[in-house]
Copies of this chain bind each other. A is one copy, B any other.
Amino acid sequence: MQIAFLIYEGLTALDIIGPYEVLCRVPEVDVRFVAKRLGEVSVDTRAFSIRAPHALADVPSPDVFVIPGGMAGTFAAAGDEEILSWVRAAHAHSRFSTSVCTGSLILGAAGLLKGVDATTHWAARALLESNGAIYTKERVVRRERIVTAAGVSSGIDMALLLMAELAGEDIARATQLAIEYDPQPPFDSGSPSKAGTKIVQLALAELQRWA
């Protein structure tokens, strides 16, 4: 079982690390962090970089792949024919083709979401629809082999669902326990409807910072 985690310049770190921290626990998994070229990619804040041990060409047909979102870097990746070709080719044989947050814009740019129910970060709905996807307001949307998750932290929930498919529910539950995922956020502002208008405006201003 090979799982590819695509990284690219400007990705949002938690988008990829959330699913990775779950899926690296699939029994016998071969985890591949993969980038366009061997070397380092900076995260969206430029606070640190991640080294990709594998280039796209080294991981042509993973069983599962995960595409993270980001800000400007995601638009660049969604316009990069080398990345899009890899996504299309990987999807041709994958068991699951997945994204977190605005990573779905890359799936969309690759042409995989035309007429397909999918989700993305709440602030990126129109961008997703411009790719022909049918925006679906759920935290994780699975339609056959394509699984998309909402903003940033939702990739953890998505990965637990995938884990149950890939390794069975007991292993998925044991993984939830291993990472002690018993969330207790101190506030209940994780979606626009719960947060209210004032907080939505603050969040949009924050998101603009790295846009």
Q: Which residues in A have some Cβ–Cβ distance to B below 8 Å?
A: 5, 12-14, 17-18, 20-21, 24-25, 31-33, 40, 45, 47-53, 101, 121-122, 139-140, 150-154, 156-157, 160-161, 164, 169-187, 189-192, 194-195, 198-200, 202-203, 205-207
Checking B50, B182, B186 against A160 with a beta-carbon cut-off of 8 angstroms, the contacting residue is B186
Residues on B with beta carbons closer than 8 Å to the beta carbon of A169: 187
Residues on B with beta carbons closer than 8 Å to the beta carbon of A5: 47
Task: Decide if B190 touches A185 in the complex (CB within 8 Å).
Answer: no
The smallest beta-carbon distance between A116 and chain B, in angstroms, is: 21
- Nearest B residue (CB) for A160: B186
Residues on B with beta carbons closer than 8 Å to the beta carbon of A47: 5, 20, 24, 31-33, 53
Given contacts A17-B13, A152-B181, contact A187 B203 (CB under 8 A): no
| Bound: A176/B187 CA distance, A | 8
The smallest beta-carbon distance between A75 and chain B, in angstroms, is: 18
Task: Decide if B180 touches A157 in the complex (CB within 8 Å).
Answer: no
| Bound: A172/B203 CA distance, A | 10
The smallest beta-carbon distance between A160 and chain B, in angstroms, is: 5
Residues on B with beta carbons closer than 8 Å to the beta carbon of A195: 173-174, 176-177
Task: Decide if A190 touches B174 in the complex (CB within 8 Å).
Answer: no
Checking B33, B156, B181, B200 against A177 with a beta-carbon cut-off of 8 angstroms, the contacting residue is B200
Residues on B with beta carbons closer than 8 Å to the beta carbon of A161: 186
24 interchain pairs, CB-CB under 8 A: A13-B20, A14-B20, A17-B18, A24-B47, A25-B206, A33-B48, A48-B53, A49-B53, A139-B184, A150-B180, A151-B179, A152-B178, A153-B156, A157-B183, A157-B186, A164-B187, A171-B202, A172-B187, A173-B189, A173-B199, A174-B199, A174-B202, A174-B206, A182-B194
